[in-house]
Chain A
Amino acid sequence: MKKIFAFLTMAVLCLGLSAQNAKLASINIKDVDGKVVNTSTFNNGDKPYIVCFWATWCHPCLEELSAMAELYEDWQKETGVKIYAVSLDDTRTKGKVKPLVNSMEWEYEVFIDENSDFRRAMGVNNPPHTFIVGADGSILWQHAGYAEGDEENTIKKYIELSK
């Protein structure tokens, strides 16, 4: 076991020599109607976009997405931002995703990562977790958790990274 670990660590160090920005993982998730969609199709033309991990049972996530929903229309006009909201709801609660999104009048692109495959590939510990992803798919910035007012930092970062 120790040998395996030592070997893997070395392998990772060896492979990690060129630490550039990591890329958005290419994983199969589902849209709200149950159709399989690959995350490599995420894009916003030549501009960066935002990926938010959330869940219907996660209180701070709902606060974050609600706060951004009010500003989203203005943000889109001013900066051209696009937000992908990836829900971590599993079989138990995934059926609530579409009704919740509609009733809250959210305009995000919403997807469901039912068995946390995308979450694992992106190294997300717990929702909420927000990424800003460049037009070429590279991860430019990420942030875990939500505190009141964080949405303003996120859009500031977005504007900064869009330049």
Chain B
Amino acid sequence: MKKIFLTLIATFAVAICANAQGIIGGKVTGNFQTDMQISKEDSVIGAQKLEDKMRINSFANILYTNGDFSAGFRYEGYLNPILGFDAQYQGAGIPYRFASYKKDFLEVTVGNYYEQFGSGLIFRSYEERNLGLDNAMDGVRIVAKPLGGLVIKGVVGKQRYYWDDIWQTDNGLVRGLDADLALNDIIPGFEASEYRLTLGGSFISVYEKANSVFTTIDNEQYRLNIPENIGAGAFRANFGYKNFNLGAEYAQKGQDPNAVNNYIYRKGNAFLLTAGYSVKGFAVRFEGKRIDNMSFKSKRTATGNMLNVNYLPAITRQHSYSLMSMYSYATQVNGEMGFQADVMYKIPKNTLLGGKYGTDVKLNYSYITSLDKEAIDNYALNQMGTEGYTSSFFKFGDEIYFSELNLEVNKKFSKDYKMNFMYSYQTFNPIAFGHEGNPFIYANIFVVDGTYRFSSHQSIKGEIQWLLTEQDYDEFAKGDWLQFGAEYNLNGRWFFAASDQWNYGTQEGEKVHYYNFSLGCTYNTTRVSLSYGKQRQGILCIGGVCREVPASNGLFMTITSSF
């Protein structure tokens, strides 16, 4: 495969080099990031000694574009992987390279690519670099736009698995087709209609050779009849009228006994619904979700974050304040039901509460429960080798997984002075961290932050975060936390920040400070930041996918740049 690709690239490259116009017209762009970590032992916070002293993750994307042709690659080096990254990343190389061109109504990509069908319920190939998550496809993709308003995509390939030469593995082959139809652009006379309707449909099939899987039911051993082709289909529609919009996507997956669902034969399905109304200064939104046995990987024995064929979003508020996101929810792919509602309002300018600039108020409520699951007669719930369970589509399960009430107020008092307030009440079931059966965590969290600009090129920021909870057990529920932070900014180029996360409310009476100092510089697209301090052990979540990050104590440096 490598040889084939090399030949392919060489052919393209030679063709372009040989063509004088190509040399003149071509552009090279790219970006780079390196993270360096030095951590020393700290028994209080549980930071381990690093035998190799220093860890460095780096990557660079190099992209060449010439008119309708583009080619590029990404070099990655994990020498060795920083704390929290899977040890299987250790090494360096080029896991991502592609060539692509557009001609007439076709766009063809060979090599690696990322793609998403609809909401991603049956197919999403993507990367989340800070989580070490990458399921890039390696194969061929064709995108066709035969007429305005119609986009058809076809994909085939295998997914990245760390540094494995995937063509030497038995990992499943992913094939898919998707169509997206914007009716307003297709039906004459509807271009400027107040009604807007887009429709879409997709199909995915994963082929993986059967392996031998055995199960014992009533002391009899059975060999499972493993399906080699797993199919999944999805249909979506998005309707809009003036300020109102309604969107839905429904996905269904065929029998797919695998390690995540305990090898049950129940068909999977997922449903996403969103409705919203918004005008200037005011918006309301509702989102509902039901996930039923939708783990979909290109290797049936795989667990964890890699080799996911689909993406199931967590519909809870995504936080950027660290104590707000201490108990972050992650989608339960084997089954969950939930909804989320938002109200956003700008109190108008020149009113009592609005002041000179207006005041932004945002309210969010989310509620996620287990799926209602009934055991099948004569079998245990989720018994391996059976249909697993039955479930009523409209019934919430008995167990709460997560709920949050969140209120945010952003207020600008003068040209130079503004503040944000946030309050959150969270009910957290540790199942989202993979620790089923532990006591729930109930937390009240408060945040106040303010920015003051005291000259045209200097500003200062202050921040207080406070988390209050009665729960104090194990690694992840550690009682009360208080965090202070301050940041000074000069010329938009330099910043200096100091913070302390103080874990004071534990039952053993131990009080731990996680202080941190950082210094950084930005110049156009180059950023360098250096921080020294302690990092608590925790779970880093982005987009509803989480990764454990061990405690560390030491130096961390990040350099990013784009060109």
Contacts and interface: CB of A to CB of B under 8 A. Distances in A.
Contacts of B511: none
Given A98-B276, A120-B61, A125 B24 contact: no
A33 B313 contact: no
Contact of B27 (A8, A20, A26): A20
Interface string B59-97: 001111110001001010000000000000000011001
B447 to A, nearest CB: 11
Contact of B28 (A3, A12, A153): A12
A45 interface: no
B30 interface: yes
A36 B29 CA distance: 25
Given A1-B94, A35-B182, A100 B240 contact: no
B68 to A, nearest CB: 8
A150 interface: yes
B314 interface: yes
Interface string B108-147: 0000001110011000101100000000000000010000
Contacts of A123: 29-31, 61, 63, 562-563
A99 B283 contact: yes
Interface in A1-28: 1, 3-5, 7-8, 11-12, 14-23, 25-26, 28
B274 interface: yes
A161 interface: no
Interface in B488-525: 489, 492-493, 495, 522, 524-525
A41 interface: no
B198 A117 contact: no
Contact of A15 (B2, B23, B311, B315): B23
Interface residues of B: mostly helix, strand, loop or mixed?
A: strand
Interface stretch (B10-18, B48-56, B394-402): B10-18
| Residue in B279, B451, B562 whose Cβ sees the most chain A Cβ within 10 Å | B562
Interface in B311-336: 311, 313-315, 318-320
Contacts of B525: 129, 142-144
A8 B198 contact: no
Contacts of B124: 91, 115
Interface in A109-159: 114-117, 120-126, 129, 141-145, 147-150, 152-153
Contacts of B311: 90-91
A8 B73 contact: yes
A100 B280 CA distance: 10
Q: Contact size class for B?
A: 35 or more
Contacts of A129: 525, 562
Nearest to A36: B151
B522 A147 contact: yes
A99 B360 CA distance: 13
Interface of B: 2, 5-6, 9-10, 13, 16-17, 22-31, 33, 61-66, 70, 73, 75, 93-94, 97, 102, 114-116, 119-120, 124, 126-127, 143, 151, 180, 182, 184-185, 196, 198, 238, 240, 243, 245, 247, 272, 274, 276, 278-285, 287, 311, 313-315, 318-320, 342, 344-346, 357-358, 360, 362, 410, 451, 453, 456-457, 459, 489, 492-493, 495, 522, 524-527, 543-544, 560-563
Interface of A: 1, 3-5, 7-8, 11-12, 14-23, 25-26, 28, 33-36, 56-59, 63, 66, 70, 90-93, 95-96, 98-100, 102-105, 114-117, 120-126, 129, 141-145, 147-150, 152-153
* Top 7 A-B residue pairs of the complex, sorted by shortest distance between their CB atoms: A99-B283, A103-B344, A92-B313, A148-B459, A123-B31, A102-B278, A16-B28
